Structure 1
Amino acid sequence: MRDQIRPFIWSSIGDGKTTSAWFDKWSDVEPIGKFISPRLIHRAGFDLYTTVADVNQDGQWRWPAAWLDLFPVLNNLPQMNLQSDRRDSLVWRDNSGRDNKFSTKVVWDSIRRRSARVGWIKAVWFSHCIPRHAFLMWLIMGQKLKTQDKINQWRVWDQTKKLGGTQCLYNQWDDILNWLTTQANSKSAKNVIGKLVVVATA
């Protein structure tokens, strides 16, 4: 989990005094410590606690000239004018490159696995849904339960069809699923009740 989250945690540079020059992510170049060894760092007169402020003087980088040949990526670092009146701060940089204040919503939206939007989403999650029922229906839609194989045995389904206005449907999962999908965006009381009945029966 740490390796998954770390790329999103960036240091927004102010005075550069609390951001590690080697191990924090503060530029589009990977943390510099990934390709410059501790031995080279010490040979250049720096140490593992060197900050961004220590390697920047009047907007210019203080890299040894030999490093620019050994590690051409350092040439891609733009000049940076430090701001003595602002401290460094950590931000969450999302997949679109925008900096955000940390929140569980932003984190989840950044690290979650994304898939194509399914047509039945509003048939399962809608404003009047009951969370427990919606969760079970979500499992059914993903074919994680055997409900769709046993639907012909649902005696309660036959008894509740009229309540949901779904008496025209056969006891076949494909027919019920097609109805749920076509009515997913409907906000009429009849269709909302119909969806609630189907989900509760599941």
Structure 2
Amino acid sequence: MKVGDGHHTSFWYDNWSKHGCLKEALGTRGLIDLGVTDNALVSDVLGRPRRRRRHIVNILNEVENEIELLRMNQDHGDDVALWKQAYGIFAHRFSTKRTWELLRHSHQVCNWSKGIWFTNSTPKYSFLARITVGNRLQTGDGMHMWNGTYFKADSLRTVDELIDPNSGNWIVDKVESLFVEKDAAMILNLKTSRILNDVYIWGFPNSGAYSSKSG
């Protein structure tokens, strides 16, 4: 802020001092040390009689100097909000471009950037092209799915490969190595049978049989 009469500049929360926001620089203790209330404006501090204080902490003395300097050179015009530009320069006009450059982390321009980000490009397609060029597109290749569960085996095709043919029980080590802990526990809780064949069961009725009513 460029202070004029100080009627629109917060003493503690606006960036009028070289130390920035004084509430952040001095903390809550600063209210007591300077004797200025939390909701005070710069005009309140400049307009009322106030005896300068001597402080042990150097930053407090610097703020006192700034207050005295403002009082001696007080401008009775309006306060003006200034916008930060590059290299710590402040200007009267807001620039979206300059603000964006301050917020983002800039990197070297890639030689293929114009092929993805160009005038009238569709942002969604440009984004997909960008992650594809960077080899970050999740294609799911190399993964297999069994009943909605992803697992790591390339050779596993049927459930009987997880069951010991002699005992008819699950091969615990194999199940736990192929599936995440939650899914492995659910599989191991299923009962196996060496007599019954696999059958399709309709999950909605208790009987397990499909009907047009339940479907």
TM-score by length of 1: 0.50
Q: Determine which structure has the larger helix proportion and give its number.
A: 1
Tell me: higher relative CO, structure 1 or 2? Use CA pairs within 8 A at least 6 residues apart: 1
TM-score by length of structure 2 reads: 0.47
